[in-house]
Amino acid sequence: MEIFYHKKKIVESTNSWAISEVNNIDENEIHVFSADFQIYGRGQGNHTWSSEDGQNILMSFLVKNLNVKIQNQFLLSRIIALAAYNYISEELLNDKVEIKWPNDILVNNKKIAGILIENLVMGDVIKATVSGIGININQGKFASDLNLATSMIINDNKQRNIEIEIKKMAENYKECLELYFKNGDDYIYKAYNDKLWGLNATKKFMLDGNIVECTILGTEKDGQISLLMPDKNKKSFFHHEIATCY
Amino acid sequence: MEIFYHKKKIVESTNSWAISEVNNIDENEIHVFSADFQIYGRGQGNHTWSSEDGQNILMSFLVKNLNVKIQNQFLLSRIIALAAYNYISEELLNDKVEIKWPNDILVNNKKIAGILIENLVMGDVIKATVSGIGININQGKFASDLNLATSMIINDNKQRNIEIEIKKMAENYKECLELYFKNGDDYIYKAYNDKLWGLNATKKFMLDGNIVECTILGTEKDGQISLLMPDKNKKSFFHHEIATCY
C-alpha cells in the first residue's frame, strides 16, 4: 500500500478534512491528513482533544474498501490502536505503554493518545474508514482537567520533529493494515487484547452512577469489554454503557 | 427545515458529491444535490442506474445529525421511499404505485425509481445521511435489460420540467422527515409497510439458488423482510440474503 501525505496549518478537524476527500482516493492507498492545529477536535461524545499549536500529532488516515462489515467495525479501532501502541513503544522503550479500552493509549497510566473513527457505510459494508488520532509529542504542560495526560517529551525529555513522527506513525499504521490482510482479524484481535490496560487486574468502573470494582477479562469480537463483576458473574459492555475510572 | 439546492450538469455520482459537502452544512438543513447526468451511478451491489441525459431525476439528499443509530438505519430507507411514493402517487393518480422491498418504487409492477443510502457513522450513531434517488421522468425507452423499467411519461404521456419535479420530490422528503420528527419511527414503519409491494400476496424469491414461493408478511424494524415460507414457517431475511423475482 502506498502512503500519500496531505498537510494544512489549520483545519476544523483532520477527520472532517479526510472525509471530504473520500471521492479523490483509490483502493489500496493510505491517505494521511495532518494539521498543526484543529479548531474543533472531535472526541467521542463531549470529549475534545486539546492540543498546543504544532506541538503534537493530529492526523487522520483515510482508506477505502477494506471490505469490513459495520458489525465488525471495532476491528478498525484495534488496527489504529495497535499501530499507535507500536509507534509509541518504539519511541519510549523504557516506559509502560498500554491500550486502554476502547481506544486510548496510556504511557505509565497517563493518556498520550486518543482515537476517533468515522466510517462511511453503504448497507452493512464500510466503504471508507477515517481513523483520526491525536498523539501528544512536544507539549510539556496540560490544562488542569487533563492532569492525567502525558506526552513523549514529558517521558523522555526529547524534542521531536512532528513531520518525521507523522511518517513513523503512518508506517506503523500501514504495517498493521498489512498484518490484518495477511493474518486476518483473529490475529489483530489477540494482539490488541495482549496490550490491554488492566488485563486480568481489578479496576474501578462507573456503572449506572455507581463505582464498581471489576476484573478486566479482555474484549469481545464486537468491541465490548468483558468484565468479572463483583458477584463473580461475567458481563460485557459497550463503550457507552460503562466508563473506566483511572 | 430549510431546503438548499445545488446543481451540476455532470457528476460522478450525486451521492459522492453530497458526501464531499458534509462539512459544509448545518443541522436542520436539507441539502439537495442534483445533476443532469452521472458518470458512475452507484446502485446497490452491481446494479447501476442507467439514465438518459437530462431526462430524469438524479438527486441526493444530505442531512446531518438526525440522531439515528446505525442499528436503526433502515428508517432512512423508509423515509426516502415514502417520500418518493408520495411524490409519484401525486403525479400518477391513476396508476398503482408501490414500494418494493428494500427500496425500489414500482408503478404498475415496473420499476420507476431506485434508492441508495450512504451513512457517515461514528460509533453507533449516524452523523450524516445521504439518500440518493433516481426517478425516471421523461425517458420513453429503456435498454433491453431494463424492460421492467418505466417512467412518468410512459404512464401519462406528459413531458415534465425536471427542475420543478426535483423541487416537488424535495418537498415530499422534507414532509416525511417532519412526519418522523412529529410521530416517531413507528409511524414511518407502518406507513412504509402499508405501501409494500406484494403485502399478503405470494411472490417468487430467489433463495440459495432456488426459486421459492413465499407470502410477504411485511418488514421488520431492522429492515428484514418477513416471509411465510412454503413449509408455513415464518422467516425473515436481510437484503443480501434473498432476491425478489418479479
What is the per-residue pLDDT across A140-158, written as a single tens digit (0 to 9) for each?
888 755 568 999 999 999 9
Q: How far apart are CA B50 and CA B48, in angstroms?
A: 6
CA separation, residue A110 to residues A51, A88, A107, B94, B112 (Å): 16, 13, 5, 69, 58
Q: Is the pLDDT of residue A53 over 80?
A: no
Q: Is the pLDDT of residue A51 over 70?
A: no
Flag whether residue A127 sits within 8 Å of chain B, measured between CB atoms. yes
Counting DSSP H helices and E strands in chain A, the numbers are: 4, 12
Delimit the domains of chain A by residue range: 2-194, 202-244
The residue with greater pLDDT, A194 or A40, is: A194
pLDDT at A86: 98
User: Which residue in B12, B120, B240 is closest to A118 by CB distance?
Assistant: B120
In a 10 Å sphere around its CB, with 0-12 CB exposed, 13-18 middle and 19+ buried, how is residue B207 labelled?
middle
pLDDT at B201: 95
Name the band, by pLDDT with cuts 50, 70 and 90, for residue A48: low
pLDDT at A148: 85
When pLDDT is averaged across residues A182-208 and rounded to a whole number, the result is: 94
Question: Which residue is it, cell 426459486?
Answer: B211
Q: Is the pLDDT of residue A34 over 70?
A: yes
Look up the CATH number of domain A202-244: 2.30.30
**Three cell numbers written together for A108:** 505509565
Q: How far apart are CA A225 and CA A242, in angstroms?
A: 9
Say what angle helices B74-91 and B162-194 make with each other, to 10 degrees: 120
Q: Is the pLDDT of residue A38 over 90?
A: no
In a 10 Å sphere around its CB, with 0-12 CB exposed, 13-18 middle and 19+ buried, how is residue B157 labelled?
exposed
- Torsion, CA A46, CA A50, CA A53, CA A58, rounded to 10: -70
When pLDDT is averaged across residues B16-30 and rounded to a whole number, the result is: 94
CA separation, residue A39 to residues A42, A49, A194, B146, B206 (Å): 9, 10, 35, 50, 52
Please tell me the distance in Å from B115's CA to the nearest CA on chain A. Answer: 12
Name the band, by pLDDT with cuts 50, 70 and 90, for residue A44: very low
Kindly determine whether residue A118 and residue B121, on different chains, have CB atoms separated by under 8 Å. yes
pLDDT at B46: 47
From chain A, pick out residues whose CB is under 8 angstroms from the CB of B240: 123-124
* B2-11/B29-38 β-pairing: parallel
Chain B residue at shortest CA distance from A102: B123
Q: How does A118-149 read in b/e, with b if 16+ C-beta sit within 10 Å?
A: bbbbbbebbbbbbbbbbbbbbbeebeeeeeeb
From chain A, pick out residues whose CB is under 8 angstroms from the CB of B73: 121
Look up the CATH number of domain A2-194: 3.30.930.10
Name the band, by pLDDT with cuts 50, 70 and 90, for residue B144: low
Flag whether residue B188 sits within 8 Å of chain A, measured between CB atoms. no
Kindly determine whether residue B118 and residue A122, on different chains, have CB atoms separated by under 8 Å. yes
Please tell me the distance in Å from B66's CA to the nearest CA on chain A. Answer: 16
Q: Residue A17 carries which DSSP code?
A: H
User: Is the distance from CB of A116 to CB of B122 less than 8 angstroms?
Assistant: yes
Q: Is B137 left (phi over 0), alpha (psi -120 to 50) or beta?
A: alpha
Q: Is the pLDDT of residue A163 over 60?
A: yes
Please tell me the distance in Å from A23's CA to the nearest CA on chain B. Answer: 6
Name the band, by pLDDT with cuts 50, 70 and 90, for residue A46: very low
The residue with greater pLDDT, A10 or B130, is: B130
Give CA A130 to chain center in angstroms: 11
pLDDT at B45: 46
Kindly determine whether residue A123 and residue B16, on different chains, have CB atoms separated by under 8 Å. no
How many Cβ atoms from other residues are within 10 Å of residue B15's Cβ?
A: 28
Q: What is the mean pLDDT of chain A?
A: 91
Kindly determine whether residue A23 and residue B20, on different chains, have CB atoms separated by under 8 Å. yes
Phi, psi of B241 (to 5 degrees): -95, -15
The three-class DSSP label of residue A80 is helix
Q: How far apart are CA B200 and CA A232, in angstroms?
A: 50
CA separation, residue B166 to residues A149, B15, B94, B160, B172 (Å): 52, 15, 21, 11, 10
Kindly determine whether residue B44 and residue A123, on different chains, have CB atoms separated by under 8 Å. yes
Q: How far apart are CA B205 and CA B213, in angstroms?
A: 6
pLDDT > 70: percent of chain B: 93
pLDDT in tens, A61-116: 999 999 999 999 999 999 999 999 999 999 999 999 999 999 999 999 999 999 99
pLDDT at A42: 52
User: Which residue in B21, B118, B122 is closest to A118 by CB distance?
Assistant: B122
Interface test with A, best of B10, B33, B121, B224 (most A CBs within 10 A): B121
Kindly determine whether residue A22 and residue B23, on different chains, have CB atoms separated by under 8 Å. no
* Interface confidence: ipTM more than 0.90: no
Name the band, by pLDDT with cuts 50, 70 and 90, for residue A117: very high
